[in-house]
């Protein structure tokens, strides 16, 4: 009994190359939004991954977890200033895709689509101007 298996093409990019492109994209996106600090942090993380620093993965995971903790801390300190919509947007936009990328294989196409979808949902939640357009 012979079973036929479909041959899959090898991935075009490694996991780390994909994360580098993702972080560089966030860096450029942050510069467009005039957030210089975020752009510099994302650029440094991308550079560390690109050069093959052995601590790059740990640094990026710590950055993602720190963003997660900072977002919730800001919400609990000032819920009237930092709304829940902004927190959900920040988590989806900045944290969830990176944690998804670095916790396990990212060559899975389904995981890539989930990361992109989370980023898009996070962008629309995070950006108040787009969210509040329906009232105009």
Query: Would residue 28 count as lying in a domain?
Result: yes
DSSP character string of the chain: -----PPPPPPSS-HHHHHHHHHHHHHHHHHHTT-HHHHHHHHHHHHHHHHT-TTHHHHHHHHHHHHHHHHHHHHHH-TTTS-HHHHHHHIIIIIHHHHHHHSS----HHHHHHHHHHHHHHHHHH-HHHHGGGG-
pLDDT average, residue stretch 12-20: 64
- Residue 40 placed within a domain: yes
| Residue 80 located in a structural domain | yes
Q: Which domain holds residue 27?
A: 15-129
Domain count, the chain: 1
80-125 pLDDT per residue, tens: 666 666 666 666 666 766 766 666 555 566 666 666 676 666 666 6
* Domain membership flag for residue 2: no
> Does residue 136 surpass a pLDDT of 50?
no
Assigned domain for 117 exists: yes
Report which of residues 33 and 20 the model is more confident about.
20
Asked if residue 36 belongs to a domain, the reply is yes
Looking at the domain assignment, is residue 37 inside a domain?
A: yes
Q: What is the pLDDT of residue 115?
A: 67
pLDDT digit string, tens, across residues 23-66:
666 666 655 555 666 666 767 777 777 777 777 777 777 777 77
Q: Is residue 134 part of a domain?
A: no
């Amino acid at each position: 009994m012979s079973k036929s298996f479909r041959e899959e093409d090898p991935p075009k990019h490694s996991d780390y190359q994909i994360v580098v492109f993702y972080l560089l994209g966030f860096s450029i996106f942050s510069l467009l939004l005039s957030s210089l600090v975020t752009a510099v942090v994302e650029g440094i993380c991308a550079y560390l991954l690109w050069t093959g620093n052995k601590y790059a993965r740990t640094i990026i995971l710590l950055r993602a977890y720190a963003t997660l903790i900072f977002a919730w801390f800001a919400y609990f300190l000032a819920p009237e200033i930092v709304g829940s919509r902004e927190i959900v947007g920040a988590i989806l936009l900045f944290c969830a895709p990176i944690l998804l990328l670095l916790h396990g294989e990212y060559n899975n196409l389904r995981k890539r689509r989930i990361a992109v979808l989370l980023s898009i949902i996070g962008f629309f939640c995070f950006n108040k101007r787009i969210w509040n357009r329906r009232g105009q």
